[in-house]
Amino acid sequence: MSSPSLAEMREDARFRVLRLLEDQPDLSQRQIAEELGISLGSVNYCLKGLVDRGLVKIRNFRSSRNKMGYAYLLTPRGVAEKSALTGAFLARRMREYEALKAEIAAVEEQMGEAGEDWAR
């Protein structure tokens, strides 16, 4: 199984950020990073790109504690992009799943040929 390319990893990050923001637009960048398991810098870079491409709008709001906050809202283009990325993400994950199943089957066959009972 081959490793994902840098372009695929960036596409996956965009998809995951868009999907998360669609459901929870008021998350902070730090919360997005924690939720997705990626660095805060990566989230910032991704969001800047999404805003620059017109896929996400940033809205300021004030919370009840009078602190400045932001809401990241998907634009109609952002919703369409998320839909397109969903298909690509799913296709890539299905290929990975099939490759893993084949690798597991090959290892199980090798273990069986060696006469080892690995499931003890």
112 compared with 43, residue with greater pLDDT: 43
Question: Is residue 113 over pLDDT 90?
Answer: no
Residue 69 DSSP label: E
Question: Is residue 66 over pLDDT 50?
Answer: no
Domains delineated in the chain: 6-113 (1.10.10.10)
The predicted model gives 31-55 an average pLDDT of 94
Q: Output the pLDDT for position 64.
A: 47
Question: Is residue 54 over pLDDT 60?
Answer: yes
Q: Which residues have C-beta within 8 Å of that of residue 43, sequence separation ≥ 6?
A: 17, 29, 32, 33, 36
Question: If we measure between CA atoms, which residue out of 2, 1, 32, 18 comes closest to residue 89?
Answer: 18
The predicted model gives 61-90 an average pLDDT of 82
48 within 8 A of 29, measured Cβ to Cβ? no
